[in-house]
Amino acid sequence: MAKYKVGDKVRVRKDLNKGDQYYLDDKSDYWYATVDMIRFADKIVTIKEFVGYGYIVEELEDCDYWTCDMFVGLDEEERKYKFKVGDMVIANSLATCYSITKEGWIGTVTEVCEQNFKANNKEYPDGFFLLYDKFDLYNPAPEPTPTAVNINVTVNLYENACWYCRKGGLVDLYLAGAMGICPSCGRVCNNRRGG
């Protein structure tokens, strides 16, 4: 699992040297620092993606992969606040003091400050300043893939099914079809409409 997540702002170490080995999070492998990477020594870069064998940063997308050892850690500003700009938040049970953002209200963080943060949503595009303790980070569950349901199959599942063994295919005994013989268990059954 990656130490940093997409969107994290991290500081590149001051002593990054071209050609030195810098290890991955789990120390299983390493990458060499390149000339392009050295330009960012002691600067802040933004994690764009983690691909299993290194990080890609927004400021240098076409470069080699970055590793944990190339960074000092999260930028101080990033670490100071509970949320960062762009995070989705959801109001928790403590948010009942607000008239608009009741428990379950979801918004996107647009600004962070020492005591509070600003978030908005489609209903309130201008947003509100809110207190950190009344909100949690919101990670929506992935949408389930819709599946087609054939109602006819569901309705007819037990049509002409044997009352005893629930298998279909009763063979008519009478023209009216009121009774049948089950080819699976051999019993006479009057369940012509399902059980």
Tens of pLDDT, residue by residue over 161-179, are 666 666 655 444 443 445 5
> DSSP character for 67?
-
CB 97 within 8 A of CB 85: no
The end-to-end CA distance of the chain, in Å, is 52
Select, from the ranges 9-13, 58-62, 147-151, the one with the highest average predicted confidence (pLDDT): 9-13
- Is the pTM higher than 0.75? no
What's the confidence (pLDDT) of residue 195? Answer: 40
Distance of alpha carbon 77 from alpha carbon 100, whole angstroms: 29
Distance of alpha carbon 44 from alpha carbon 9, whole angstroms: 6
What would you measure as the largest C-alpha separation in the chain, in angstroms?
A: 93
Residue 87 phi, psi dihedral angles, 5° rounding? -65, 145
Taking residues 42-52, what's their average pLDDT? 87
Mean pLDDT of 57-70: 85
Structural tokens at position 54: 């290194």
Say which amino acid occupies 157: L
Is there a contact between 21 and 87 (Cβ–Cβ < 8 Å)?
A: no
Confidence of residue 157 (pLDDT cuts 50, 70, 90): very low
Question: CA-CA-CA-CA torsion for 116, 49, 43, 86, nearest 10 degrees?
Answer: -20
